[in-house]
Amino acid sequence: MTPTPFRTLVGLVAAALTATALYAQEAVKTPVALTAVDSWRADPTVVFDATDVNLEDFLWVARPIVVFADTPNDPRFQRQVELLVSRMEDLVERDVVVLTDTDPEAFSQLREQLRPRGFMLVIVGKDGGVKLRKPAPWDVREISRSIDKMPLREQEIIDRRNANQ
């Protein structure tokens, strides 16, 4: 039996759709989930939710600043985030990653590790050690001064200066 033009057209369309579907399956790869460090490296101005982050991931990579509160409505929390975001470029220069945790019920690893009570700002060094705890919001200028006094940061400044000469 000779195919009619309609059947031929339907067959060609079906073949084209099948080929397109197979091509699409090959072209679409399963997205690789970015780690927190990868996401931070892609955009160091992002403020991360601490419930999804492990401090050890940032060991020798970045200086985490963790802002805790019992609710995102805490005025101290809102003020601290506002202060950090307003001068993010100063923090980026110092390899700072900003993490927030406003849900005590989530029992995040950071809450267990750092044990905040209400609002608390914590600066963690690249070595993973807690460098500073503050019970009130702190200006980025003060935070930057504190970080710049750390031995590893002092060495980074010297290395950068020597590289530019």
What is the tens place of the pLDDT at every residue in 11-25? 443 444 444 344 334
**Residue 26 sits in the same domain as residue 91:** no
Tokens representing 75 are 């005025």
Predicted TM-score (pTM) of the model is 0.77
| Confidence band, pLDDT 50/70/90 cuts, at residue 74 | very high
Does the pLDDT of residue 107 top 90, yes or no?
Answer: no
| Confidence at residue 80, expressed as pLDDT on a 0 to 100 scale | 98
Pairwise pLDDT comparison (1 vs 87), residue with the higher score: 87
Q: Which helix (H) or strand (E) holds 39?
A: helix 36-42
Does the pLDDT of residue 103 top 80, yes or no?
Answer: yes
**Residue 25 sits in the same domain as residue 106:** no
- Domain hosting 14: range is 1-30
Query: Closest Cα partner for 55 from 123, 2, 145, 120?
Result: 123
To the nearest whole percent, how much of the chain has pLDDT over 70? 80
**Residue 48 sits in the same domain as residue 25:** no
Task: For strands 47-49 and 96-101, give the pairing.
Answer: parallel
**Residue 124 sits in the same domain as residue 108:** yes
**Residue 10 sits in the same domain as residue 64:** no
How many structural domains is the chain composed of? 2
**Residue 24 sits in the same domain as residue 40:** no
3-state secondary structure of 122: strand
Residues 6 or more apart in contact with residue 100 via CB below 8 angstroms: 47, 48, 49, 50, 66, 67, 68, 69, 77, 81
What is the tens place of the pLDDT at every residue in 125-147? 999 999 999 999 999 999 999 99
Q: In sequence order, which ranges of 74-120 are alpha helices (DSSP H)?
A: 75-86, 88-93, 109-114
**Residue 12 sits in the same domain as residue 65:** no
What is the tens place of the pLDDT at every residue in 37-58? 999 999 999 999 998 789 999 9
| Confidence at residue 57, expressed as pLDDT on a 0 to 100 scale | 93
